[in-house]
């Protein structure tokens, strides 16, 4: 096995290859940041030691070594390595790969098939892997940045083990930079703050931190050392890892919602700003804040919904970037408001009752009787006009007779709902006193 840093191309060519490619590990032990998988006691190391590999799905963000680990696995297990990308491959490509793997198997050698971006294959294409996985024609290793539970067939998942690749932490990114300096034979021209800033900008992506380092080396003049502000200008700050239609989007909106629900305005503002910074549509965030107002605050603070709608209107009026401040104000208001899901819970219970009880007729005393026939049927008989009753409350039963009175709304002793609860308890007392 060649040394990690030894050139594998003719002299003068190696340094022209990207730094990330030159630093590609040559053994599983050299892989950084995934010790839970590739370390001495890691899952993959144990598989290699046992001499038995099964099909796997590698799930993790970009730049965490999924492709490299798949290639190293095939080498250390003595398997033929085939690689395709779901972005550029179709059914014809899959058939050719499967035929080559079958021929190889006849000669006694198994094939590890690495499928990059496997979630890009449609359901039918994913199903095509099942027979060759089951009969041992290939050991499938699929790589995806998206949640396999949502993007891959259940049948495929049942035949493959999902292994999670973690984003690089600061220590492993720092190790990569140290290796890069060893290969380049010179230190990065960065002070301590700039170096830390570069690591943060990589956002857990090993390939990115090496690409950023290359940009710094290209930009530096002799004896020049960059501070944090200068390095951000040079590399123009890499965009956050965030896909508005995929996991990053759902993870952050979930974190924002739960921070609001948990009455933590600081965390809520942080996640709101993360989404602004990643280019999320502010009106989408405005709609979500309205949802939080009705789901998690409700009548504990009726002004929450008013303020969220006002913030949405303010954004419509002001546009960006001034309008984002209105949404931030609404976000902080929601996080600091008293919380109640009593209306939300009552709504779900009432909806369930509506579905379960069918088309029950309301009690006749609250039905209008615009015709003689309807009057003759008893429509409107016995109705008592609440404004003419003591305390403007008749206490009549308004539920269908076959259903009986139900209680869906149970307000807590919080915020404005404390007053609502007292009112409901008073009406219940009057209803009991008046025999209803």
Torsion angle, alpha carbons of 68, 73, 74, 76, to 10: 120
pLDDT score recorded for residue 4: 39
- The mean of the pLDDT values for the chain is 87
By three-state DSSP, how is residue 264 classified? coil
The CA distance from 205 to 247, in Å, is 16
Q: Is the Cα dihedral 274, 280, 285, 286 positive or negative?
A: positive
Which CATH number does the domain 34-164 belong to among 3.40.50.10210, 3.40.50.300, 2.40.110.10, 3.40.190.150? 3.40.50.300
Classified by CATH at the fold level, domain 247-336 comes out as Zinc Finger, Delta Prime; domain 3 (1.20.272)
**pLDDT value at residue 3:** 42
For the chain, the first-to-last Cα distance in angstroms comes to 88
Phi-psi region of 392 (alpha: psi -120 to 50; beta: other; left: phi over 0): left
Pair 68, 34: CB distance under 8 Å: no
Lowest-confidence region among 15-24, 107-116, 165-174, 308-317: 15-24
* Alpha-carbon distances, residue 142 vs 77, 139, 171, 278, 311 (angstroms): 17, 10, 27, 28, 44
Lateral strand order in the sheet of 111-116: 80-85, 111-116, 138-144, 56-59, 161-164
pLDDT over 90 percentage in the chain: 47
Q: How many CA atoms lie within 13 A of 363 on its CB side?
A: 16
Q: Which long-range contacts (CB under 8 A, 24 or more apart) does 178-186 make?
A: 179/4, 179/5, 179/23, 180/19, 180/23, 180/210, 180/213, 182/5, 183/5, 183/19, 183/22, 183/23, 184/19, 184/217, 186/217
State the average pLDDT over residues 370-397. Answer: 87
CA distance linking residue 409 with residue 394, whole number of Å = 20
Q: What are phi and psi of 114, to 5 degrees?
A: -100, 120
Tell me: the pLDDT tens digits for 270-283?
A: 999 988 887 788 99
Structure confidence at residue 8 (pLDDT): 47
Residue 136 φ/ψ, nearest 5 degrees: 80, 10
Q: What pLDDT is stored for residue 2 in this prediction?
A: 38
Q: For residue 386, is pLDDT > 70?
A: yes
Q: Which CATH class is domain 355-433?
A: mainly alpha
The percentage of the chain sitting over the pLDDT mark of 70, rounded to a whole number, equals 93
Residue 144 to residue 151: CA distance in whole angstroms: 9
Confidence of residue 68 (pLDDT cuts 50, 70, 90): very high
What does the pLDDT look like over 285-311, one tens digit per residue? 999 999 999 999 999 999 999 999 999
Please give the Cα distance from 400 to 406 (Å, whole number): 10
Residue appearing with tokens 């839970």: 36
Q: Give dist(CA 173, CA 162) in Å, integer.
A: 24
Q: Where are the beta strands (DSSP E) in 69-189?
A: 80-85, 111-116, 138-144, 161-164
112-137, pLDDT tens digit by residue?
A: 999 999 999 988 889 999 999 988 89
The most confident of 142-151, 343-352, 355-364, by mean pLDDT:
343-352
pLDDT band at 40 (very low <50, low <70, confident <90, very high): confident
How confident is the model over 36-41, as a mean pLDDT? 88
Distance, in Å, from the CA atom of 74 to the CA atom of 64, rounded to the nearest integer, reads 18
- Every domain of the chain and the residues it spans: 34-164, 247-336, 355-433
| Confidence (pTM) | 0.64
pLDDT digits (tens, 9 = 90+) for 194-252: 898 888 888 888 998 999 999 999 888 888 899 888 888 888 765 455 555 566 778 88
What pLDDT, on the 0 to 100 scale, is given for residue 280?
84
């Amino acid at each position: 096995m060649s040394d990690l840093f030894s050139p594998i191309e003719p002299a003068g060519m190696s340094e022209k290859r990207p730094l990330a490619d030159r630093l590609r590990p040559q053994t599983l032990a050299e892989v950084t940041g995934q010790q839970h998988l590739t370390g001495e006691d890691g899952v993959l190391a144990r598989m290699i030691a046992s001499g038995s590999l099964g099909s796997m799905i590698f799930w993790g963000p970009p730049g965490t070594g999924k492709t490299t680990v798949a290639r190293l696995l095939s080498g250390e297990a003595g398997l033929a390595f085939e690689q395709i990308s779901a972005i550029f491959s179709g059914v014809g490509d899959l058939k050719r790969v499967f035929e080559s793997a079958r021929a190889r198997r006849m000669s006694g050698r198994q094939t590890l098939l690495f499928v990059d971006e496997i979630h890009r294959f449609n359901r039918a294409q994913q199903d095509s892997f099942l027979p060759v996985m089951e009969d041992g024609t290939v050991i499938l290793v699929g790589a995806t940045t998206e949640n396999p539970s949502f993007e891959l067939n259940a049948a495929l998942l049942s035949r493959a083990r999902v292994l999670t690749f973690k984003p690089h932490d600061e220590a492993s990114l720092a190790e990569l930079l140290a290796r890069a300096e060893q290969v380049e034979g010179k230190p990065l021209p960065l002070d301590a703050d700039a170096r830390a800033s570069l690591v943060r900008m990589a956002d857990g992506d090993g390939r990115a931190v090496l690409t950023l380092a290359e940009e710094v080396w290209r930009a530096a003049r002799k004896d020049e050392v960059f501070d944090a502000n200068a390095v951000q200008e040079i590399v123009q700050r890499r965009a956050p890892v965030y896909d508005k239609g995929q996991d990053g989007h759902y993870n952050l909106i979930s974190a924002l919602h739960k921070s609001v629900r948990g009455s933590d305005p600081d965390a809520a503002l942080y996640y709101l700003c993360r989404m602004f910074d990643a280019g999320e549509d502010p009106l989408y965030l405005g709609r979500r804040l309205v949802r939080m107002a009705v789901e998690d605050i409700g009548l504990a603070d009726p002004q929450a919904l008013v303020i969220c709608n006002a913030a949405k209107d303010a954004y419509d009026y002001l546009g960006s970037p001034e309008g984002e401040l209105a949404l931030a104000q609404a976000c902080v208001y929601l996080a600091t408001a008293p919380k109640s899901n009593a209306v939300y819970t009552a709504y779900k219970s009432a909806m369930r009752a509506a579905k379960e009880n069918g088309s029950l007729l309301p009690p006749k005393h609250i039905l209008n009787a615009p015709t003689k026939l309807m009057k003759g049927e008893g429509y409107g008989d016995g109705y008592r006009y609440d404004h003419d009753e003591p305390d403007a409350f008749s206490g009549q039963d308004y539920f269908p007779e076959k259903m009986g009175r139900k209680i869906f709304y149970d307000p807590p002793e919080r915020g404005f709902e404390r007053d609502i609860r007292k009112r409901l308890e008073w009406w219940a007392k009057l209803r009991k006193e008046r025999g209803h």
